[in-house]
């Protein structure tokens, strides 16, 4: 059963009340919770989207958020069903060609690299225009109005809701300088999620 935004935010407000004795405005709590859902999804990469990227000839550099406004991080790229290799840093392109940044006569894509959360480099530049299928971590819908979002289903899978709630709880308690409660919750948070790769 999919969790809804309103009841989940109510849980958040109750927890903050119990831990820090704070009354948080519902719209503010909804906004913070929405941001924390996005953070949780960025980490877990469970809600994904995909789309077709038009690759003009001789072009290596793309602002991928212009093509996919709801993209956070790119997961994979395929061209004609073939998976393109992801390189960890720019220096790895030199394994293909020392002058990789001038390579604009390719017949197929070989590698890609993401810089920040805006820039995508595809190697090599192609001699003719083509397309590629891009799979990416989806930027979840932002909710700022508690009443309007109350019965809206969360896009985050149920198993990740608790992670988003814990992050939101820590953010709100930190915002209101409830430092003893923050330390207690942070210790519990690290103990619970460190085994899942959160550092």
Q: Are residues 55 and 111 in the same domain?
A: yes
- 119 with 85, same domain: the answer is yes
For position 52, what pLDDT does the model report?
97
Closest to 133 (Cα-Cα) out of 48, 66, 54: 54
Tokens of 78: 């395929």
**Tens digit of each residue's pLDDT (9 = 90 or more) over 44-87:** 999 999 999 999 999 999 999 999 999 999 999 999 999 999 99
Q: Is the pLDDT of residue 198 over 60?
A: no
Answer yes or no: do 34 and 77 share one domain.
Answer: no
pTM of the model: 0.83
Residue 17: predicted pLDDT:
87
The total number of structural domains in the chain stands at 2
Same domain for 130 and 74: yes
Question: Do 65 and 102 reside in the same domain of the chain?
Answer: yes
Whether the predicted pLDDT of 155 surpasses 90:
yes
Supply the pLDDT for residue 199. Answer: 47
pLDDT value of position 1 = 59
pLDDT at 177: 86
User: Is the domain of 86 the same as that of 19?
Assistant: no
52 and 39 inside one domain: no
Q: Do 105 and 176 sit in the same domain of this protein?
A: no
User: DSSP letters of the chain?
Assistant: ---BHHHHHHHHHHHHHHHH-----HHHHHHHHHHHHHHHHHHH--SEEEEEEEE-TT--EEEHHHH-TTEEEEEEEEETTEEPEE-SSGGGGGGT-TTGGG---BSS--EEEEETTTEEEEESPBSS-EEEEEEEEEPPPP---HHHHTTPBPSS-HHHHHHHHHHHHHHHHHHTT-HHHHHHHHHHHHHHHGGGT--
**pLDDT tens track for 71-127:** 999 999 999 999 999 999 889 999 998 999 999 989 999 999 999 999 999 999 999
129 has a pLDDT exceeding 90: yes
Same domain? 120 vs 173: no
Residue 128 predicted with pLDDT over 70: yes
Q: What is the average pLDDT score of the chain?
A: 91
Which residue range forms the structural domain that includes residue 100? 48-138
Which string of b and e fits 91-120 if b means at least 16 CB within 10 Å?
A: eebeeeeeebbebeebeebbbbbbeeeeeb
Compute the distance between CA of residue 51 and CA of residue 77 in angstroms, rounded to an integer: 10
């Amino acid at each position: 059963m999919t969790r809804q935004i309103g009841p989940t935010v109510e849980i958040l407000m109750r927890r903050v009340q119990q831990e820090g004795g704070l009354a948080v405005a519902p719209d503010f709590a909804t906004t913070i919770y929405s941001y924390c859902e996005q953070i949780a999804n960025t980490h877990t990469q469970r809600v994904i989207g995909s789309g077709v990227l038009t690759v003009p000839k001789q072009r290596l550099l793309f602002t991928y958020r212009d093509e996919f406004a709801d993209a956070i991080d790119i997961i994979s790229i395929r061209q004609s069903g073939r998976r393109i290799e992801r390189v960890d840093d720019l220096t790895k392109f030199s394994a293909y060609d020392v002058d990789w940044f001038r390579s604009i006569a390719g017949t197929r894509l070989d590698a890609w690299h993401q810089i920040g959360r805006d820039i995508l480099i595809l190697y090599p530049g192609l001699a003719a225009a083509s397309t590629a299928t891009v799979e990416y971590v989806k930027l979840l819908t932002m909710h700022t109005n508690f009443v309007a979002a109350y019965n809206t289903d969360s896009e985050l899978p149920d198993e990740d809701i608790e992670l988003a709630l814990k992050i939101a709880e820590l953010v709100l308690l930190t915002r209101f300088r409830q430092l003893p409660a923050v330390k207690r919750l942070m210790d519990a948070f690290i103990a619970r999620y460190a085994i899942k790769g959160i550092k």
